[in-house]
Amino acid sequence: MYLANGTEVYYPEDLLPVVASDSITARAVRNVHQQRRRSLLYGGIALASAIGIFAIWVSVNNRFQDRGEIDLSTFEERGLLVSGGGLLIGGFGTMYHQRQEVKYWGEANENYNTGLAQRLGVCTSGFAVVPCESVTPPPAMPPPAMPPMPVQAQVPAPAR
């Protein structure tokens, strides 16, 4: 996103100084930060789980090379189960919160012009920027016209 003066906006927080603190853009930027933190938390869970799986694999592999058989202890079995679950939860949690982050970043970009106009106290009329007091509201839409009633065919009365 580029501002009118040519400044490229890389991060959502770059928009905060130029929009009102209660604008949709500011709320979306705060949501971006929240989703980014959650994504990093779930990513950390996935990473720790992957390290746990690797450590158990190294332990089992060393015993396999010494004795020639794979023998998992109860501790290792539970460790693999917990680490596998952590890897799945961490991976899916990271994906979900990254998608939410992108959604809110898009929302911040979409509402930037409105937030800036709100902060500056101006409105737009066509392509012109004008004080909000001079903007005339658009005329009210007339109610939709009722469709004409269908004409029923005249059936002649039976002869008597």
Top-confidence residue, 25 or 128: 25
Top-confidence residue, 145 or 87: 87
pTM of the model: 0.63
The arithmetic mean of pLDDT across residues 50-55, rounded, is 92
| pLDDT at residue 114 greater than cutoff 60 | yes
52-60 contact pairs (CB < 8 A, 24+): 52/79, 52/82, 52/83, 52/86, 53/80, 53/83, 53/84, 53/87, 56/80, 56/83
The arithmetic mean of pLDDT across residues 8-32, rounded, is 81
Percentage of the chain lying above the pLDDT 90 cut? 29
pLDDT of residue 97: 95
pLDDT of residue 45: 95
List alpha helices for the chain, DSSP H.
24-67, 74-110, 112-120
